[in-house]
Amino acid sequence: MSTSTHQPRKRFGQHFLNDHGIIQSILSACHPLKHQTLIEIGPGLGALTQPLLDRGLSLTLIELDRDLVAHWQRHPAADRLTLIAADVLTVDFSQFGNSWRLLGNLPYNISTPLLFHLATTATHMTDAHFMLQKEVVDRLVAAPGTKDYGRLSVMLQYHFHLEALFDVPPEAFSPPPKVNSAVIRLIPKTPGEQPSCDPQRLSQVVAQAFSQRRKMLRSTLKGWLTDKDWESLGIDPQRRAETLSLAEFARLSARITAPQVVPENS
C-alpha cells in the first residue's frame, strides 16, 4: 500500500510523514533496541514502522483505520507485529507491563486527551517520542509567566520530564497539515521527583485556577482558601494562575482538603 492507494482520512487526522531526513532524526532520538517493548501509535503507511522492521525489531501497533490494520496484517513481517485495532484513547496501557516505550506521529485532534490518558500509567513507561502540533509542544514545555503556560503545562510537567527536540514543517507530510509540528520526548518522573501532593487534587485545583485565566487566584479559588491559608503558603492571592510554578500549585493543592468547585460564572 502507498499514499497513492490509501487516501488519508480527515476524520482520523491522517497526515503521513514522508521526509526521510525527519524520519531518521526521530529514529535517532528514540534509538530503540531489539530487546525493548516498542509500541507505535498510528503507524499509518509505515514511515517509522518500516525502518524499525528493517532493523529487526518487533513492534506493537495501535491503529484505528481498518484498511491500515489489514495492510499490516498482510505485511511480510507480520510475525513481528502485534496489532491492536482500537482507538488509542480506549487502550489500557497497563497491559504492557513495565518499561515499554512509545513512538508516534499523533493525530492532532486526540493529542491532548491522549497525553492525559498516558499520564495515568506514566510510571510504567520508559519514555515516549511523539510528533505533535508545535503549538501543543510549546504549551507542554512552557514556563510559568509565559503565554503558552497553562493547565496542560502544569499537569504534564507533574508527570514527565519534557524536552522539545526539533520542529517539523508541513511539507514533511502528505497531505501537508495547515500547522507546524514538533517532536517531543517524555520521560516519566519518579515519585521522588514529583512534588508531594495528591495528583487528582492537583488536577482539580489547576483546572479551577485556569478556568478564568485572567482572574486573580483569590477569585478563581474563592471559598477554597482563607486569608490565613494564603499567608501561610506565602502565595499572593492577587496573582494569576499563569504565574504559579508546579511546586506552588502542589503546595496549594496540599493545603486544600476538600474544595468545592464553584461555577465558572460565579
Q: What is the pLDDT of residue 260?
A: 54
* Alpha helices in 12-165, H assignment, sequence order: 20-30, 49-54, 66-73, 111-119, 134-140, 151-159
Q: What is the pLDDT of residues 135-154, one digit of tens each?
A: 999 999 999 999 999 999 99
* Alpha helices in the chain, H assignment, sequence order: 20-30, 49-54, 66-73, 111-119, 134-140, 151-159, 199-209, 217-220, 227-233, 246-255
3-state secondary structure of 119: helix
| Domains by residue range for the chain, with CATH | 10-193 (3.40.50.150), 199-255 (1.10.8.100)
Q: What is the pLDDT of residue 203?
A: 94
Mean pLDDT confidence for 235-254 = 96
Q: What is the pLDDT of residue 107?
A: 81
Mean pLDDT confidence for 90-101 = 94
Task: Report whether pLDDT(11) > 50.
Answer: no
Task: Report whether pLDDT(5) > 90.
Answer: no
Contact 141, 77 (CB under 8 A): no
Q: What is the pLDDT of residues 217-244, one digit of tens each?
A: 999 999 999 999 999 999 999 999 999 9
For all residues of the chain together, what is the average pLDDT? 90
Mean pLDDT confidence for 172-188 = 92
**The pTM is what?**
0.89
Task: Report whether pLDDT(56) > 70.
Answer: yes
